[in-house]
Amino acid sequence: MKIGIIGTGNMGKGLGQILVEKNYEIMFGSRDPVNVLKLANSFGPNVSGGTYADAVQFGDIIILAIPWSSVKESIEAAGDLNGKILIDCTNAVAPHLGGLLVGHTTSAAEKIAKWAEGAKVVKAFNSLGSENLAKLQFGTQNASTFICGDDLEAKSVVRRLGEEIGFDVVDAGPLTNARLIEPLAMLWIELAYKQGMGTDIAFKLLRRRKAK
Ligand SMILES: NC(=O)c1ccc[n+]([C@@H]2O[C@H](COP(=O)([O-])OP(=O)(O)OC[C@H]3O[C@@H](n4cnc5c(N)ncnc54)[C@H](OP(=O)(O)O)[C@@H]3O)[C@@H](O)[C@H]2O)c1
């Protein structure tokens, strides 16, 4: 499967790096058509660059890695997402890490599903800092990522992708459960940056027996 990545920041590049190492063909989508080509070249032969719309056309799976303030306009610029698996790793974080701007009765993921008409949105990979993406193993355990979505096939694709990246993937149910997953990211931010634990932390679901 080909992967288009919208946004070339911490998450976009971090996930891109791992996916290239796993031999996926990827295209970075960017607002900057010149720099994105340089970036793609620096990642190697399986990587190309273009606009957000180019990345969407290219990918079977699209990763949305955009600051919340620009998510809606970026989706508009990305064009037709109908039928695409859209991995939403965003968090609607207020300026100065001041809490979540969306929650309780909806979620960033649900808003994105409305804006990205026809896309199969799966929330994933949002609840730990990007610096951990390349080192998801903590001792003998791998960091959990909680995923949710309404399209079961899309969710199983994202589950496999997450496992390849190195996550312990936990299926948390339908997309409305992003209302529960997104605050977890805010907890990670609080612990890492405000409670002084640093970024070398991750959540783990403990199980007494093998769960689904
Ligand atoms: N950083 C983390 O540790 C982390 C962890 C989990 C989840 N997240 C979430 O993942 C999303 C992306 O985070 P990030 O840390 O990768 O963000 P980032 O480093 O700020 O980069 C995001 C990318 O989005 C694009 N973009 C589009 N409109 C933009 C604008 N108005 N201002 C700045 N960039 C804009 C840019 O790519 P182009 O210039 O190439 O278009 C930029 O490189 C956010 O929603 C964040 O909450 C982040």
Q: How far apart are CA 126 and CA 84, in angstroms?
A: 19
Alpha helices in the chain (DSSP H): 10-21, 35-43, 52-58, 71-78, 108-115, 152-165, 178-189
Give the total number of structural domains in the chain. 1
The backbone region for 179, taken as left when phi is positive above 0, alpha when psi lies in -120 to 50, beta otherwise, is alpha
**Locus of tokens 């769960």:** 211
Pick the atom of ligand 1 nearest to 31's CA.
41
pLDDT at 209: 83
Is the Cβ atom of 129 under 6 angstroms away from ligand 1? Answer: yes
Q: Is the pLDDT of residue 69 over 90?
A: yes
Please state the atom number of ligand 1 nearest to the C-alpha of residue 12.
16
Percent of the chain with pLDDT over 90: 98
Question: How large is the greatest C-alpha to C-alpha distance in the chain, in angstroms?
Answer: 51
**Is 204 among the domain residues?**
no
CA dist 111 and 200 (Å) reads 30
CB 94 within 8 Å of CB 40 = no
The answer on pLDDT for 150 being more than 80 is: yes
Three-class secondary structure of residue 204 per DSSP: coil
Gap between the Cα atoms of 170 and 137, Å rounded: 16
51: containing domain: 3-194
Using pLDDT thresholds of 50, 70 and 90, give the confidence band for residue 212: low
Q: Is the CB of 145 under 6 A from ligand 1?
A: no
pLDDT value of residue 206: 97
pLDDT at 211: 66
In contact, 107 and 85? CB cutoff 8 Å: no
What DSSP letter does each residue of 5-63 carry, written as one string?
EE--SHHHHHHHHHHHHTT--EEEE-S-TTHHHHHHHHH-TTEEEE-HHHHHHH-SEEE
**Domain CATH for 182:** 3.40.50.720
Sort strands 47-50 and 26-29 into parallel, antiparallel or unpaired.
Answer: parallel
Cα of 3 vs centre of ligand 1, distance in Å, is 17
| Residue 65 counted as domain residue | yes
| Residue 208 located in a structural domain | no
Span from the CA of 206 to the centroid of ligand 1 (angstroms): 30
Report if residue 203 sits inside a domain.
no
Q: What is the pLDDT of residues 171-210, one digit of tens each?
A: 999 999 999 999 999 999 999 999 999 999 999 999 998 7
Separation of CA 131 and ligand 1 centre (Å): 14
Q: Rounded to two decimals, what is the model's pTM?
A: 0.98
147, part of any domain: yes
Residues in the chain: 212
First-residue to last-residue Cα distance in the chain: 24
